[in-house]
Amino acid sequence: MNISLAKIAELVNGNVEGDDSIQISGLGKIEQAQPGQITFISNPKYQKFIETTKASAVLVSQDFPPVSKTVVRTENPYVAFLQLLKFFHPPLEMIEPGIHASAVIDSTAKIGDQVRIGAGVVIGKNCVIGDRTIIYPGVVIGPEVAVGSNTVLHANVVLREQVKIGNNVILHSGVIVGSDGFGFAREGVLYHKIPQVGIVIIEDDVEIGANCTIDRATLGATIIRQGVKLDNLIQVAHNVEIGENTVIAAQTGISGSTKIGKNAIVGGQVGFVGHIEVGDGVTVGAQSGVSKNLPPNAVYFGYPAKPIMQAKREEAAFRRLPDLLKRVSELEAKIAKLEKANL
């Protein structure tokens, strides 16, 4: 596929500086792009490649400084690049329309229009599957599950009983929604399992990465609000609530009954203790340990997590500790020498 820069500018609502008749056949990273490709700059550290890249054109912001390279100026080069990725690389049709002959669907299940169901799928009693939803091979859907419209369940997803999934949701391979929460009552040296009789609710426009686990509530519901994006390998425990449009990176673990506000950003490998509240608009740096409530609209880092400037000051002081210990030892030696001389 070849299209002109003029057409690309229309697609991304941008304007061309240079030859708008240049033909573009694909996209590339700025360091590796070849003639005929378009690339982008959204992070200032990549500006050094602007004159050396072999790309035929570069997507840049409206306030990017003038350069000799042909550029397409847009409000958000990164979003524009994503639009072009979708244009040049439309999704592959990995599953045929209709229902595969090997799928096992209970007679009480209600299947919407234009649903695609792959090989080996199991759908239980009283389930409802919305219109145009795609269910890849090996998916298991327990009884009384509701799945909305335009949702994609990739291979080997498991939805346990009574789970509620919204519209336009993407669950990647290996996601398990509605597994039992980790609840046990101790009696002496014995642990008695606490029945987990709640549900999981995943609202519209949520995307959950591969091999995440979302536990059902002990009572009530574990809730993933609209627009949440979860990376791979995340554990969400029973009765957790994650607010709208929050994004969480890989290997994060959220303990039971913790509530994370909307528009939060959580780095990778963050651990949250249970029964705390994290405010709206909070950012938590990677590998932090969150042990108490975090007020809204602030950045936290460290173990335990604290306001980031405090964490940076403490880290700087800790790095000076070896030198300080050396100076203390030297001062102690001098004091000892002076005391000996005065005897």
Q: Which pair of tokens denotes residue 133?
A: 């939803």
Whether residue 28 lies inside any domain: the answer is: yes
pLDDT in tens, 153-169: 999 999 999 999 999 99
Q: What is the mean pLDDT of residues 74-93?
A: 92
DSSP for 153-185 reads E-TT-EE-TT-EE-SS-EE-TT-EEEEPP--EE
- Structure confidence at residue 340 as a pLDDT band (50, 70, 90): confident
Whether residue 219 is contained in a domain is answered as yes
DSSP string, 138-154: T-EE-TT-EE-TT-EE-
CB atoms within 10 A of CB 279: 18
Identify whether residues 334 and 302 lie together within a single domain.
no
Predicted local distance difference test score (pLDDT) of residue 223: 98
With respect to residue 34, please indicate whether it lies within any of the assigned structural domains: yes
Looking at residue 62, its pLDDT comes to 95
Whether the Cβ atoms of residue 287 and residue 270 lie closer than 8 Å to each other? yes
Same structural domain for residues 302 and 215? yes
Q: What is the pLDDT of residue 170?
A: 98
Picking from 88, 116, 142, the residue at the C-terminal end of a domain is 88
CATH number at residue 72: 3.40.1390.10
Are residues 207 and 133 part of one domain? Answer: yes
Question: Is 89 a catalytic site residue?
Answer: no
Q: Look up the pTM and report it.
A: 0.88
Total count of domains within the chain:
3
pLDDT digits (tens, 9 = 90+) for 98-137: 999 999 999 999 999 999 999 999 999 999 999 999 999 9
- Mean pLDDT rounded to a whole number for the chain: 95
Structural domain of 334: 312-342
Assign residue 125 the CATH number of its domain: 2.160.10.10
Strand partners, 277: 259
Residue 93, pLDDT > 90, answer no
188 plus 220 within the same structural domain: yes
Q: What is the mean pLDDT of residues 219-223?
A: 98
Look up tokens 């500006």; give the residue.
47
Q: Quick one: pLDDT at residue 44? A: 87
Report residue 95's pLDDT band, with 50, 70 and 90 as the boundaries.
Answer: confident
Q: Are residues 259 and 150 in the same domain?
A: yes
Out of 89, 154, 172, 238, the active site residue is 238
Residues 159 and 218 in one domain: yes
Residues 229 and 320 in one domain: no
Q: What is the pLDDT of residue 301?
A: 97
67 and 118 co-located in one domain: no
Any domain includes 229: yes
Read off the amino acid at residue 54.
Answer: K
Task: Look up tokens 């360091």; give the residue.
Answer: 31
For residues 190 and 228, state if they share a domain.
yes
User: Is position 93 within any domain?
Assistant: no
Q: Which residues are within 8 A (CB) of 132 and not within 5 positions of it... i.e. 6 or more apart? A: 112, 113, 114, 115, 149, 150
Q: What is the DSSP string of 249-273?
A: -TT-EE-TT-EE-TT-EE-TT-EE-
Is residue 162 in a domain? yes
Q: What percent of the chain has pLDDT over 90?
A: 91
Q: In this structure, is residue 278 part of a structural domain?
A: yes
pLDDT-wise least confident of 7-11, 199-203, 218-222, 308-312: 308-312
